[in-house]
Amino acid sequence: LFSASRNLSLLLDIKVVAVPAEANARGVIAMGLTTDGKTYSDMTSGEVDVLYAIGELPLTERPDTGFLVVQTSYMTELAKQADVILPASTYLESEGTITNYLGKDKEVKKIIGPAGDSKQHKDIFIELSKVLGSAIKQTAKIKSAHEVSKPAFVPFEKKKGLDANPADIKEAVNASVINHSKLLWLREAQKATV
């Protein structure tokens, strides 16, 4: 998405902005966490033995995979079907930096402490890396995405298998927020008026 928008900007001499569904998607990709060439269809149709899903994904049925790990802030339909759930804190319970859709690093400050046993995504990754024998060192300040990954001109390629319906993504994100958060009162209030 980001490479394609950058290429369009260069080729057509226009300003194009790629807007991902998640707030820090650009930063995550720039730090090197990618799908390793696998498409959405590959990952959900049995072509991977272990699937590690992070965040609120637009899946209500368990993908065809041998082992499913879900790292999320909410008990989504996918999380209910996971072999392992790693409880992540919400954005209000987290601090650090994110890279916004324009590529700018922004500081995020914690407003409240994490609920229960939840941890920030970065802390889950650090602990998991220790258990797996390849410890990630926590630094005081993580390098910005631009320091880690220098943009390069690459030819535009049409990606196949990107068959996630935008309406399904919107529905899944809204369902996780309304059904599994502090907005639960809103759903109950709506039921009471019917």
Give pLDDT tens digits for 84-125. 999 999 888 989 888 877 778 888 889 988 888 999 988 898
Residues 82, 69: contact at Cβ < 8 Å? yes
| Residue 100 belongs to some domain of the structure | yes
Q: Cα–Cα distances in Å, from 84 out to 67, 104, 114, 155?
A: 8, 34, 20, 39
Q: Over the Cα atoms of the chain, what is R_g?
A: 18
pLDDT of residue 47: 82
In this model, does residue 140 exceed pLDDT 80?
Answer: no
Q: With respect to residue 147, please indicate whether it lies within any of the assigned structural domains.
A: yes
Q: Is the pLDDT of residue 82 over 90?
A: yes
Between residues 140 and 25, which one has the greater pLDDT?
A: 25
User: Residue 89's domain spans which residues?
Assistant: 2-162
Mean local confidence (pLDDT), 135-147: 54
For residue 191, is it within any domain? Answer: no
| pTM for this model (two decimals) | 0.62
| pLDDT (0 to 100) of residue 84 | 95
Residue 62 lies in a domain: yes
- Work out how many domains the chain is built from and give that number: 1
Kindly report the number of other CB atoms within 10 A of residue 190's CB atom.
10
Q: Is there a contact between 58 and 75 (Cβ–Cβ < 8 Å)?
A: no
Q: Are 152 and 52 in contact (CB under 8 A)?
A: no
In a domain? residue 98: yes
